[in-house]
Amino acid sequence: MKAASFRSLVLGAACAASLTLAGCVVAPAPYGYYGEPVAVAPPPPQVEYAPPPPVVGWLWIGGYWTWRANRHMWIGGHWEAPRPGHRWVPHEWQRDGRGWRERPGHWDR
């Protein structure tokens, strides 16, 4: 086989593979709950006073309770740069048939 023919064959195979793989798009999974259910309900949120933002336009992400080392632990709030086209969904706890489950805060489109 001549070198030019071989190069054409390889180039054609590479183009076909890239077109095939271009259709392989994985949609992100919905943001779910994590961890095992907890029997103890989280305490009420703590009152936080946000300091001035480090940059004008940043968003205050409020603190939340998480479950660590077999107890609820408060994670203090912080400032974060907004993400264009997204909205902030706060951390939450929901009760299900087996106890309390937490869902971390996240940016959503």
Q: Are the beta carbons of 108 and 86 closer than 8 angstroms?
A: yes
Task: Write out the two tokens for 41.
Answer: 């309900």
* Dihedral class, residue 15 (left if φ above 0, else alpha if ψ from -120 to 50, else beta): alpha
pLDDT on residue 8:
65
Give residue for tokens 């309900």. Answer: 41
Q: Could you list the pLDDT tens digit for every one of the 109 residues in the chain?
A: 566 666 666 555 554 554 444 444 444 545 566 678 999 999 999 999 999 999 999 999 999 999 999 999 999 999 999 999 999 999 999 998 899 999 999 999 9
Task: Delimit the domains of the chain by residue range.
Answer: 34-108
